[in-house]
Amino acid sequence: MMLLVLGALLLLFCTLDVWYFLRGAQVFVQAWFQPRILDILAEQSIDGMVLPHDLDYMGHMNNSRYLRECDFARFHHYMRNGLFLASCKLGAKMVVGASTIRYRRSLAFREAFEIRTKVVGWDEKAFYLEQRFVSKKDGFVSAIMLCRQNVVHCSPERIIEFVCKKKIECPEFPEDLKHWMSFISTSSQALRAESGLEQKNK
């Protein structure tokens, strides 16, 4: 019987990213019992530490782990400011449409850090967020990410109005975000043109 249980657990861990779902559940519970953040534009922080399964072959935090940690930090952010529950009640879904991360200094094994997440703006289709990995050792920003969180079956304005019970003006986009949004738009146009050309040549 014990061998069957161990075999089932091994099969589960080999076929499913169990730690991802456990971590997601832990973030959910943690955010649920923390005080609500009323200001949707307020910066929020979540703590982390570089563990053995985060390391690459050079002993630094694997590049892909930054993106994974950002997923959890965004979920924590949306839970505390009410955007996640509001989107669920409105039948909306939020999916990452684009993200760009810039690495400035590696995070080493057992190095403590915090991820500072904030909504910097929105348009008719998406929220735009900035996420920073800040080392607790000296406050250095080790990496910074911009993320476009697309809203499906709803709009950011409606979700915000549902949470705040009033309309909120979108703040002016920072210059770096404007350039990034322009890049996304240009890339999309180029890919659409490329796709159209491929269909024409078939």
Domain residues for the domain of 80 are 21-32+41-171
| 181 inside domain | no
CATH code, domain carrying 144: 3.10.129.10
| 11 inside domain | no
> Residue 129 pLDDT > 90, yes or no?
yes
Q: pTM of the entire structure?
A: 0.88
| 58 inside domain | yes
pLDDT at 198: 60
pLDDT at 20: 86
| 100 inside domain | yes
The one-letter code for the residue type at 107 is L
Looking at the 3D structure of the chain, how many domains does it have?
1
| 163 inside domain | yes
| 152 inside domain | yes
The residues facing 44 across adjacent strands are 117
The tens digit of pLDDT for each residue in 38-84 reads 899 999 999 999 999 889 998 899 999 999 999 999 999 999 999 99
| 200 inside domain | no
pLDDT at 180: 95
> Residue 194 pLDDT > 90, yes or no?
no
Q: Which two tokens stand for residue 133?
A: 């990995």
Question: What is the average pLDDT value for the chain, to the nearest integer?
Answer: 91
Q: Could you give the C-alpha distances from 77 to 10, 71, 74, 83, 170, in angstroms and in order? A: 33, 10, 5, 8, 18
Q: Report CA 113 to chain centroid distance, whole Å.
A: 16
pLDDT at 115: 98
- Across 83-104, average pLDDT: 95
Q: Could you give the C-alpha distances from 198 to 192, 193, 202, in angstroms and in order? A: 10, 9, 6
pLDDT: which is higher, 196 or 165: 165
Contact 101, 145 (CB under 8 A): yes
| 193 inside domain | no
